Amino acid sequence: MKERQSLRSPFSFPRLLVCAFVLALAFRIGLALTLQERLYWPDSNWYFNVAERIAAGQGFGQSLTRGPVYPYFLSLILLFSSRLVVIRICESILSAFVCVLMGLLGKKLFSERVGLLAAFASAVYPYFVYLPSAQGSDNIVTLLFLVSILFLVGNGISLSLRNCLLSGFFLGLSLLARPSIAAAIPGILVWPVFLRRRPGVTVLFRNIVITVAVALATVVPWTIHNYVVTGQFVFIATSGGRQFWCGNVASATNITTDENPVCPPELAQKLASLPDEVAREKLFYKEGLASIREHPKIAIKLYFRKLANLFQLFPLVRTPGTGPERSVVRTMVKLGSLVLFVFSFLGALLVVIKRSFAAVLPLIFISYCLGSAVLLTVMRYRLPVDPYIILLGSAALAFFLRWPSTLSSSERP
């Protein structure tokens, strides 16, 4: 669904992309400068504790609750400054680069105009403006995964070996930043099915398999590290078991403003008797699966509740002081999210109907959301794949405003 005409403007595409970067940076740093010098999310404490240990030369430590990329990134900044405002400014720069990458991806899949629409939209997208100041892995995994997808579509169907290797490497880093990114991989593998009538699709599928293999190879050194530390197999992190149990046990509500289900005394006693995180994770998985088998109807209801959590127009959380309190701001954000969902849905229909090369975008988004809903979810967990619905929404807007008047279904060689 690539537009035939290129952007006609007194400004060149690179210059406008720089403008989007500057605008994004201004919004993000502006917010960072207004916030208090404190952490807003409970998860941030774990990241900072590990990062401080790394910066002090004490290593990663015994806890494997989350992936290693963000703690190591934080530790590099902590070598120079421990002030939160400095960390937020560094993360703001990364987030501004996300806008540039979206512009480049939009240009490759659609046109310069769609790329610029996506770049400027992401520059002012409220959640992307906020993420650099939240001190979690969301911001960096959004960047890494976007780089991976940019290399993946770089040469069209005739994906080069170099692009396979680079895409796989950054996909591996994405997994090390947020293991749940693995939920997007089935969508990428299914992508060639939508292009099956084109020559070279078999080569594309082969190259995607190579990309996934390189991603797994990138993760292997950390898996070996985990085995050395624990003496057991831990692919990346150990928090999946608890998230699985919390999201599937029959006593859960999966309402994001409620407290997580409390362990019954029997389970708490079993957990206390276990020697490490790995053993506790296995028990959580075992108990979660037992609950699903015993209460399948409740499990199905909980799954759809978790899926709905990802599509909240505004994040409803139980942690106080983590978002704007003014109702007018909340209403504006909700309206913006609703418009984005409507246009991205239309954009997804267009690329799927035309069997466009850009069909990879809705496939990634849908696959990630469906897979993520197996575990406990909140709206924030969706943000690493929001760039793809922004791109789809931008493509739909360009189509309905007739920029230009026609679309082509043969967008790539």
Segment 190-213 mean pLDDT: 84
Quick one: pLDDT at residue 411?
A: 38
CA-CA distance, 211 to 155, in Å (whole number)? 14
Tokens read off for 168: 């796989």
pLDDT tens column, 73-90: 999 999 999 999 999 999
Distance (Å, whole) CA 26 – CA 367: 33
In this prediction, residue 409 carries a pLDDT of: 35
Beta bridge partners of 2: 408
pLDDT of the residue at 405:
36
pLDDT at 412: 38
Residue 216 has pLDDT above 80, yes or no: yes
Tell whether the model's pLDDT for residue 208 goes beyond 70: yes
pLDDT score at 12? 87
Delimit the domains of the chain by residue range: 13-400
Give the Cα separation of 266 and 316 in Å (integer): 31
pTM equals 0.91
Q: How do residues 325-373 score in pLDDT, each as one tens digit? A: 567 878 888 898 999 999 999 999 999 888 888 999 999 999 999 999 9
Average pLDDT over residues 139-167: 87
Specify the higher pLDDT residue, 381 or 410: 381
Q: Cα–Cα distance between 298 and 173 in angstroms, integer?
A: 35
CA atoms of 287 and 283, how far apart (whole Å) = 6
Contact call for residues 172 and 188 (beta carbons, < 8 A): no
Judge whether residue 323 has pLDDT over 80. Answer: no
Is it the case that residue 224 has pLDDT exceeding 60? yes
Among 76-90, 148-162, 273-287, the minimum mean pLDDT is found in 148-162
Question: What pLDDT, on a 0 to 100 scale, did the predictor assign at position 4?
Answer: 47
Please compute the mean of the pLDDT values over residues 86-105 and round it to a whole number. 96
Nearest to 84 by CA among 45, 56, 140, 141: 45
The pair of structure tokens assigned to 252 is 């859960």
| CA-to-CA separations, 60 to 69, 72, 242, 274, 280, in angstroms, rounded | 11, 9, 21, 22, 20
User: Do residues 281 and 242 make contact, with C-beta atoms less than 8 angstroms apart?
Assistant: yes
> Cα separations (Å) of 132 from 65, 139, 291?
21, 6, 37
Look at residue 404 in the predicted model and tell me its pLDDT. Answer: 45
At residue 318, the pLDDT reads 61
255-267 mean pLDDT: 82
- pLDDT at residue 213 is higher than 90: yes
Who wins on pLDDT, 220 or 263?
220
pLDDT at residue 296, as a whole number: 95
In terms of phi and psi (left: phi > 0; alpha: psi -120 to 50; beta: otherwise), the region of 258 is beta
- CA-CA-CA-CA torsion for 189, 194, 196, 198, nearest 10 degrees? -110
- What pLDDT sits at residue 258? 73
Query: Rounded mean pLDDT of 316-327?
Result: 62
The total of other beta-carbon atoms located within 10 Å of residue 84's CB is 19
Task: Identify the band that residue 94 occupies on the pLDDT scale cut at 50, 70 and 90.
Answer: very high
Mean pLDDT score of the chain: 88
- Residue given tokens 């210059």 in the structure block: 15
- Whether pLDDT at 28 is above 70: yes
pLDDT of residue 322: 53
Least-confidence region, from 50-54, 257-261, 379-383: 257-261
